[in-house]
Structure 1
Amino acid sequence: MRALLVVNPRATTTSERGRDVLVRALRTAADLSVAYTERRGHATRLARDAAESGVDVVVTLGGDGTVNEAVNGLLTASAALGGLPGALADRLPALAVVPGGSTNVFARALGLPRDWADGTSVILDGLRDGRHRVIGLGRADDRWFTFTAGLGWDAATIRRVEQARLRGRTSTPGLYARATFGQFFTGLDRRDPPLTLERPGETPDTDLGTVIVQNTAPWTYVGDRPVHLNSDASFDLGLDVLALRRLTVARSARTVTQLAWRAGDPQGKQVLRLHDVAEFTVVASRPQPFQLDGDYLGERQKVHFVSVPSALRVIC
C-alpha cells in the first residue's frame, strides 16, 4: 500500500518529535512518502499529484484547512481519473486525517479522537484492517467542502479571527466570541439584509443576513463541547442550512443564547432551517464574506451549492 503524508509544519498541536513518531508509526502499515506544505494551497497540489500517481491513501497532519485543501486536490484529480470504472469514491485514494489543528471539526465529526496520537492509532488499525467509510461532500461552485460553508456574518467573523492571528493572536474560543460580537455590532448592515436563497421549484427566501451550510454535525466545537445548528446534518444525507433573517439585536441575542446554553438547533421567527437539500443557490445584493471549512476565501455575490453523495473514502 502506497501512502502520502501531507504535513502542515505549522499545525498547532504537534511538535517535530511528534511528527517523527507519526512517520515511523505509519511506515509500519504503508510504503510512506512525506511532504511538507510551504504555503496556502500547497496541500491541494500535493494531494492531486498523489492521486494521479496512483497513491492508495493520502494522510493529512494539520487542521481543517489542510484537510479541505487535500480533499480539493483529490477531487480535482477525479477529472483525470474519470475514465476509470466505479463510483467517484472508489476511483480516488482514501483520506486519513490525523488531527493537528486547534479545533479539528472534520476529524471529530468522523468520531476520531481529538488527540493526534490517539487518532494515529485509530488510523493505523483502519489501514491494517482495510476499514473505511464512504461519505458525501458539499460543493460550492468549483470548490469542495467537508463540514461547513457560509456567507455573511459567520464568514466575516472568520475573517476577523484570521486577521487577529496574523497579528500574533492565538486561536481560542474567546477570540472567536469577541470577533463574533465585534462583527455584529460594527461590521454588519442589519437594516438591509443582502442574501437570498434560491431552490429549484421553491419560492426564494429573502432578507437573510447570514447563511450557514452544513454537511455534517456538529457545526463546530468550543473546547470539548459540540455546537449544533442542525443536529440532524449528516455525511450520509444532503446539505443542511441555517439562515438568519433580519439581524435585530434582540432576536440575534436570543439565537446566541440558545447556542450558548442549549448547544443546538436554534429556533425563532428569524431562523430559516432546511434539512437534506440536494442543491440551492445563495445570491447577494452586494459582495459578502465567504468561508469554507473555517477558511476565509474572500467575497462573493453568488454561490451555487450541491450535495455530492459517496464522494470520498475516509479511514476511520
Structure 2
Amino acid sequence: MVNPAATTTSARTRDVLIHALASDLKLDVVTTEYRGHARDVARAAAETGEVRLVLALGGDGTVNEVVNGLLHHGPDPDALPGLAVVPGGSTNVFARALGLPNDPVEATGALLDALRTGSERTVGLGLASGTPGTADEGAPERWFTFCAGLGFDAGVVGRVEQQRARGKRSTHALYVRQLVRQLMSEPRRQGTITLARPGADPVRGLVATFVCNTAPWSYLGNKPLYAAPKASFDTALDVLGLSRLGPGAAARYGTQLLVSSPQRGPHGKHAVSLHDQTSFTLESQAPLPFQVDGDHLGLRTSVSFTGVRRALRVIV
C-alpha cells in the first residue's frame, strides 16, 4: 500500500523502496487514490484469506487506514493479521514507537532484515466507538494505533487539517502555530468532559483528554513527547486528562511535555493520569472535536474506548 502524497518520500524514492522490497517479497503494489482507499484495499486483502502481510508505505494516517481495513471484522486471536510499515509521513509515531528508523530507506533495510529472520511482535490497539444510548451511538468504530483525543488536542488536529486543505504542508511548525491559535481562541473555557469507567468514581470537569496506546505520545522533530509514559503496546490504554488549560496551565503543561521522559510526563493537581484501562467512556456536555491517530473525525458528545491487548501482528 503506497501513499503517493507521503510527505517525506519522492516518487523516485518510493520506486527504489518498492524495488528493494520486491527482491525479497512477492508484492502486489497498490497506490492509494482517495481518503479511505488504503482501508478498502486492506479489508479486501484480509477477506481473501490469502494475503499473509500488508505493507504500508506512508504516514500515520495511511497506517491507520490499513489497520482499520485489516480489522474490519475484528481480530482473530488464532490468526492475527500481519502488518509491516515503512514510514513516509511527517511524524510517523507508530513506526518510531515500534523502534523502526524514521528514515524510509533505513526502515526498509530493517524491515527486510526482520522478514529474513522472522522477527515480529504482537501489539495491542485501541478501539473507539459511539456510546450506546447517546446521540453518537451509530458512529462507526475506529481502531487506533497510538493515540486518540476528545477536546483540545483534537481541535488542534482539526485546525491543521483545515490548513492542509488550503495547501499548507504538514510540518511540526504548522502544528505548533495551530496549537497556539487553539489556545488563544478559548483560553478560559471550563472543562465539560467526564471520564467514566466501571467500578470507579467518574472524573469530571476535564477540558482535554489524551488517550495513549503507546509511549511516546508524539514527536516534535526528533524530540519524543510523553503524555503517558507508562503506555505500551503490551497493555491496554492510558489516559491523561487536564481540568485546566488557560494560558498559565498551558505554559506549565506544555513545558512539562517538552521535558517529559519515559519516567515522567505532565503532572499536577489539575492533571489526572490513568494506566492500563481496558474500558472507559468520555462524555461531554457539548459537542467537542474528536481525533484518532491525528485524523479529525468531527464533533462528538460521547466516545467509548476499549483497549485490546492482542490485535495485530507487526514485522519489526
Per the normalisation by structure 2, the TM-score is 0.92
Shift of 1:26: 1.5
**1:127 maps onto 2:115 in alignment:** yes
The residue number in structure 2 matching 1:3 is none
- Kept in 2, the 8 Å contact 1:52–1:77? The answer is no
Match of 1:22 among 12, 17, 21: 17
Shift of 1:78: 4.1
The residue number in structure 2 matching 1:34 is 29
Matches of residues 104-123 of structure 1 in structure 2 within 5 Å? 104-123=92-111
Matches of residues 1-316 of structure 1 in structure 2 within 5 Å? 6-53=1-48, 54-78=50-74, 87=77, 90-141=78-129, 142-186=141-185, 188=186, 190-262=188-260, 265-316=265-316
Equivalent position SS for 2:153: helix
Equivalent position SS for 2:57: strand
- Kept in 1, the 8 Å contact 2:80–2:311? The answer is no
Inter-CA distance 166–29: structure 2 relative to 1 (3 Å threshold): same
Per the normalisation by structure 1, the TM-score is 0.92
Superposed CA RMSD: 1.4
Shift of 1:174: 1.9
For 1:133-192, what per-residue CA distance to the aligned partner results, in whole angstroms no more than 9, with x for missing partners? 101001011210000000000000011111111222222222211111111111x37343
Shift of 1:247: 2.4
Equivalent position SS for 2:268: coil
Letter in 2 for 1:120: T
2: distance between equivalents of 1:156 and 1:191?
13
Letter in 2 for 1:157: V
- Kept in 2, the 8 Å contact 1:51–1:77? The answer is no
Instruction: Structure 1 unaligned segments of length 5 or more: list them.
Output: 1-5
Shift of 1:27: 1.5
Shift of 1:77: 4.2
1: distance between equivalents of 2:253 and 2:74?
40
2: distance between equivalents of 1:143 and 1:261?
31
Q: How many residues matched?
A: 302
